[in-house]
A and B are shown apart, each in its own frame.
Chain A
Amino acid sequence: MSRAAKIIYHVARVVLGLTFLYAGLIKSEDVTTFAGQVANYKILPYSWNFVVAASVPYVEMIAGFLLLINRRVRPAALVCIGMLVVFMILLGSVILRGLDIDCGCFKPGGQGTSAWVAMGRDAGLLLLSGLVYALRGRFH
Chain B
Amino acid sequence: MDWERERILLEAFLIVCVGVMLGLSFNFQAVFHAFDLERNAPPPLTSPSEAFPLPADLATTRSLLDEGALAVDARLPEDFAAGHVPQARSLPWADVEAALPAFLNEVPRSRPLLLYCSGFGCSDSFDLGQRLIREGYQTVYVFEDGFPAWEAAGLSISREAQ
Contacts and interface: CB of A to CB of B under 8 A. Distances in A.
A109 B144 CA distance: 14
Interface of A: 28, 30-33, 35-37, 39-40, 42, 45-47, 49-51, 53-63, 66, 72, 74-76, 78-79, 82, 108-110
Contact of B12 (A35, A56, A58, A75): A75
A54 B15 contact: no
A62 B15 contact: yes
Contacts of A59: 15-16, 19-20, 23
Q: Secondary structure at chain A's binding surface: helix, strand, loop or mixed? A: helix
Interface of B: 8-9, 11-12, 14-16, 18-20, 22-24, 26-27, 30-31, 33-35, 37-38, 48-49, 52, 54-60, 120, 144-145
Contacts of A55: 19-20, 23-24
Given A36-B54, A58-B22, A42 B9 contact: no
B30 A47 contact: no
Contacts of A28: 23, 26
Contacts of B26: 28, 54, 58
Contacts of B27: 31, 50, 53-54
A28 B22 CA distance: 11
A61 B26 CA distance: 14
B20 to A, nearest CB: 4
B57 A30 contact: yes
Contacts of A58: 18-20, 22-23, 26
Contacts of A37: 57
B60 A46 contact: no
A31 B18 CA distance: 18
A33 B58 CA distance: 8
